Amino acid sequence: MKPAAARPVNRYVVPALAQGLSVLGLFTRERPVWTAPQIVAELALARATVFRLLQTLEVAGYVTRDDGGRGFRLGVSVLNAGFSYLASSDLVEVAQPVLRRLRDETGLSAHLVVRDGTDVVYLARFAANSTLSSSVNVGTRFPAHATTLGRMSICELTDAELAALYPDPRLPSFSEQTPRTLKELKALLAADRERGYARSQGFFERGVNSVAAPVRDKSGTIVAAINITAVESHVTIAEMDGPLKDLVLAAAAEISRWIVHDLPGS
């Protein structure tokens, strides 16, 4: 047992913040998931204190539920705050060579995202070897409902989960094709589920085509999404629906297989 997230000697230190950072410090590559009782035992903190800390960290996006809601792992906000999100997730390490090969095979920019609330956050990017490559950077956020990557991330949510995610039935619009209501979004997601991938022609950004596929964990749950993007004048939507789609689906399946068989705890 470690000493309690101890009472700081410096009178300017905020004890609750120090305790919260101690909780975040427990998550490592070797042990990415912790339950509340385990944290209580490890840091010798009161159960009520750990409960409040976890609730606060979860609301802020620094931890997220895992193991059927009993455990916690680091959330995407850790990445945005400059912490080492990847210390508890090998997803990017696994995906990078696959995305690089996808970029090389297609000549198009390839990306990996995870969902954070109503946004998707870019975790990896391999730009096309041309002046027409994607300009997004790691850490960039886009609205989930308005992108193919986002649609793949939420396409298997239940109606109740979608209603909780989008309490206002009206959705922000970014192009003529963006769904403007939750009803329109559900229709798109139903088509994506049936198709097994999402594709778009200027869906989020005029003149840009893309095709996206889901990445799944060992339980079959969608945990991330990948895509390729191209300028419409160079790649048609018919090409996206053909061999390019097959390459993206194969890459997503390969990343999923690595997650199932080779990541810690699998």
Please enumerate in sequence order all residues whose Cβ is within 8 A of that of 266, keeping only pairs 6 or more positions apart, or say none: 218, 259, 260
The pLDDT of residue 202: 60
3-class DSSP string for 68-83: HHCEEEECCHHHHCCC
The pLDDT of residue 263: 46
Asked if residues 71 and 34 have their Cβ atoms less than 8 Å apart, the reply is yes
The pLDDT of residue 209: 81
Q: Which domains does the chain have, with CATH numbers?
A: 15-84 (1.10.10.10), 90-262 (3.30.450.40)
Give the whole-angstrom CA distance, residue 163 versus residue 60. 20
Q: Minimal CA–CA distance to 53: which of 14, 8, 1?
A: 14
The amino acid present at 138, given as its one-letter code, is V
Give the whole-angstrom CA distance, residue 169 versus residue 184. 10
The pLDDT of residue 131: 47
Which residue shows structure tokens 């995906």? 95
| DSSP string for 132-165 | T-----TT-EEEGGGSHHHHHHHTT--HHHHHHH
The pLDDT of residue 84: 43
How many Cβ atoms are within 10 Å of 129's Cβ, its own excluded? Answer: 12
The pLDDT of residue 87: 39
Stretches where the chain sits below pLDDT 70 are 1-10, 12, 29, 67-68, 78-89, 130-135, 202-207, 232-234, 260-266
* Mode of pairing for the β-strands spanning 222-231 and 109-116: antiparallel
**Residues 52-102: pLDDT tens digits?**
999 999 998 888 887 667 899 888 776 655 444 443 457 888 899 999 999
